[in-house]
């Protein structure tokens, strides 16, 4: 089973993405902030329930998606990170790709788009 962490401070988006991924039989954890996400990653990566992919927003309180991406890549360089954002543009996307994100998806997005991205990442 594919294990995911979804990180977003917008509760509506977090719930929607969580529900869609659960319906596709992914093992999904959720976090509302960068600090909560980092705690969850550390806890899960050091267990037999290691994450396969992180899906995160960019704009959050107490940190950004870039802060989370850099921390993840520093401690877990092989852990894929998918960025979802309503503030995307080519320059921001390129910045995240250079920092190591596996995919970049602009909001609003179709559930199928996110699922396809996750499946492509996991099967590589």
Q: How does pLDDT run across 20-54, given as a tens digit for each residue?
A: 999 999 999 999 999 999 999 999 988 877 999 99
Number of domains in the chain: 1
Give phi and psi for 73, each to the nearest 5: -65, -30
- Please give the pLDDT value at position 48: 79
- Please give the pLDDT value at position 49: 77
Structural domain including 27 reads 3-123
Question: With 80 as the cut, is the pLDDT of residue 72 above it?
Answer: yes
**CATH code at 114?**
3.40.50.2300
Find the mean pLDDT for residues 6-32.
95
3-state secondary structure 29-86: EEECCHHHHHHHHHHHHCCCCCCCEEEEECEECCEEHHHHHHHHHHHCCCCCEEEEEC
- Please give the pLDDT value at position 61: 78
Asked if residues 74 and 46 have their Cβ atoms less than 8 Å apart, the reply is no
Find the mean pLDDT for residues 94-110.
95
Q: Other C-beta atoms within 10 Å of 90: how many?
A: 8
Q: Tell me how far apart the alpha carbons of residues 14 and 18 are, in angstroms, rounded to a whole number.
A: 6
Task: Please state, rounded to an integer, the average pLDDT across all residues of the chain.
Answer: 94
């Amino acid at each position: 089973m594919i294990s995911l962490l979804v990180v977003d401070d917008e509760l509506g988006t977090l719930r929607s993405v969580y529900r869609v991924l659960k319906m596709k039989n992914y093992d999904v954890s959720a976090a509302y902030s960068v600090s909560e996400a980092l705690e969850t990653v550390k806890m899960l990566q050091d267990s037999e329930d290691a994450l396969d992919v992180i899906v995160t927003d960019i704009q959050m309180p107490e940190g950004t998606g870039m802060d989370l991406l850099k921390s993840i890549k520093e401690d877990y360089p092989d852990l894929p990170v998918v960025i979802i954002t309503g503030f995307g543009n080519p320059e921001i996307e390129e910045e995240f790709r250079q920092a190591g994100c596996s995919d970049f998806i602009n909001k609003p997005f179709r559930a199928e788009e996110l699922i396809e991205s996750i499946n492509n990442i996991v099967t590589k």
